[in-house]
Structure 1
Amino acid sequence: MWEVLYRANPHSHLKTRINAHKHSVKTLEKEPNSVDTTALRTHARGEGHTFKFENTKILGHEENEFKREVREMILIERNKESAVNKRSDVQSLSKVYSNAIHTIFRENPGITNSPLPSSTNQFIP
């Protein structure tokens, strides 16, 4: 089983989204030639990984769409190796910011992959 960072549109209910992903991955066994409709399914097919859906955690909450998208880009960029997302999710992130993100986390090893600060959660290094 593989633990990955996953971000989903907050407008979809978590249980519904998880069930849809479970179903999508299960159909790979029944219909191996079917079209991949999500990054998660594409990853499961390409890497042969399984997922611990029962360990899903919400990493943060942000009502403001722009702030939420920036936070998501930072989390995805920071966790490139374990993020299962279409790379289009970070295409609008400048290389300057990408380098800054990696420098900050490299120079501050005490910083974890905790949610980024917002009005509804606190950053805990």
Structure 2
Amino acid sequence: MSAAEQSTGEAMPRPERTPDALRLALARIAPHRLAEMERQKNEAFQLAAQNNSLGPIHGWMTIWAGEVEIERRPDLLARRRAAELTVQSLDRDDPAWLAAMDELQAVLTEAREAAG
């Protein structure tokens, strides 16, 4: 295990950024999310066909590469879960709610950048 993997607690290597590799990785680490992934993939392909654009497919890949990154890294997953719990338990006018929303965005950004 590399020093980077030890410091982040990565449970498995980062998969290639292909639909099949992302699906296989998700099946290993978060199989309960496969139906969500498949539904969103179908929606992205439908939009791509309707608009004659690969943009929706690229967007789907970015989202799910990030989601797999979060699911495979205990540090990111713990940060997301803690922030989600805070968001769900506080009123929107509480400053901690906004801080938790900022943390959720930071987790997503870090995951998507890492997954490249």
Q: TM-score with structure 1 length normalisation?
A: 0.28
Q: In proportion to residue count, which structure has more helix?
A: 2
Q: TM-score with structure 2 length normalisation?
A: 0.30
